[in-house]
């Protein structure tokens, strides 16, 4: 082969190698851009889901408020009917409250100690006190 043909062949091989390396570099660098695009899409999807959930929670609380208001109105109506009907029926009239009595049958207030002893809340409860500390065995 001639020297000029070798130069042309070497130039063409270097050009093809450069194109190949350029395509490989673009592919590798573009993979990061694709991942970033996928992350942006996932973020947009999660943001849309979060917005839907917030709207759903708002609707839920509005409905709950309406139900509570309706229940309050029904209780008010029932109370009004009871107030109107109670004087005509003596068994529905409110009974007088029994006065509290000061008798000896009252339940004693619980204590954290036993009579004459220290109780379970004492710092030394359950510990056996010995004057001499046990000595470790000697070998």
Each domain of the chain, given as residue ranges in start order, spans: 3-87
Say if residue 122's pLDDT is above 80: no
Give dist(CA 56, CA 67) in Å, integer: 16
Token reading at 66: 């309406």
Q: Judge contact between 113 and 105, C-beta under 8 A.
A: no
Give the CA dihedral 45, 50, 55, 57, nearest 10 degrees.
140
* Residue 69: per-residue pLDDT: 95
* Residue 93: per-residue pLDDT: 58
Token reading at 7: 């130069």
Q: What is the pTM for the complete model shown? A: 0.35
Say if residue 1's pLDDT is above 60: no
* Residue 68: per-residue pLDDT: 95
Give dist(CA 37, CA 40) in Å, integer: 5
Percent of the chain surpassing pLDDT 70 = 69
105 vs 39 pLDDT, higher one? 39
Give dist(CA 50, CA 56) in Å, integer: 10
């Amino acid at each position: 082969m001639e020297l000029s043909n070798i130069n042309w062949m070497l130039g063409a091989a270097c050009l093809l190698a450069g194109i190949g390396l350029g395509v490989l570099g673009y592919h590798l660098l573009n993979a990061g851009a694709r991942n970033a695009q996928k992350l942006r899409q996932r973020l947009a999807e999660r943001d849309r889901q979060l917005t839907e959930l917030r709207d759903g929670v708002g609707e839920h609380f509005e409905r709950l408020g309406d139900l509570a208001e309706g229940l309050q109105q029904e209780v008010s109506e029932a109370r009004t009917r009871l107030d109107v009907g109670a004087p005509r029926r003596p068994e529905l009239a409110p009974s007088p409250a029994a006065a509290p009595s000061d008798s000896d049958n009252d339940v004693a207030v619980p204590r954290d100690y036993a009579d004459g002893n220290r109780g379970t809340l004492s710092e030394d409860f359950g510990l056996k006190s010995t004057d001499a500390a046990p000595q470790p065995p000697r070998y």
